[in-house]
Amino acid sequence: MRKMTEDNLNGAFAGESQAHMKYLVFADKAENEGRPNVARLFRAIAYAERVHATGHFNKLGLLGGTADNLQEAIDGETYEVEEMYPAFRAVAELQGEKGALQSINFAFEAEKIHAGMYQKAKQEMESGNDIKLGAVYICPVCGHTVEDEAPDRCPVCGATRDKFKKY
């Protein structure tokens, strides 16, 4: 693929990915404001944006086998924990941006767990096995991630057990 086309597809992938997430956030807001049809519209179009992003991702040849995808996930989570969020935290602290600092700290704590979970999955794959995985619970406030059982209170943000989403 020629460089300009590759750059364009990478930009389109980023834009479609952001639109997908933004529309899901918009859907939640509409739902909370009692507008279920607007929420449904946002979710439907968010899915279309995901379809577009997936097409661009595939045309770029970025989808590997599961072991490769796990390694890319490990690398991404590790980068966020070791480099990205510490740098972002330092700037937010320097600028006194308390809201941004909270958001960064919430993500930072969750990413550490995610990297470990992906590493465990990769090790199992390298042994020829699928990962043994119980229910996964995600805190909807901060993203704290636990396996098997949600805590009574989130250790990061204090959200109650009943708020956790089960996967």
Nearest to 89 by CA among 81, 157, 18: 81
Q: How far apart are CA 152 and CA 167, in angstroms?
A: 17
Question: 66-79 and 98-126 helices cross at what angle (nearest 10)?
Answer: 150
**Residues 153, 139 contacting (CB under 8 angstroms):** no
Predicted TM-score of the model (pTM):
0.89
Start-end of H helices in 33-129: 36-59, 66-79, 85-94, 98-126
Q: Give pLDDT, residue 160.
A: 98
What pLDDT, on the 0 to 100 scale, is given for residue 61?
A: 96
Do the Cβ atoms of 108 and 143 come closer than 8 Å? no
Residues of the chain with pLDDT under 50: none
User: pLDDT per residue over 111-146, tens digit each?
Assistant: 999 999 999 999 999 999 999 999 999 999 999 999
Q: What is the pLDDT of residue 129?
A: 95
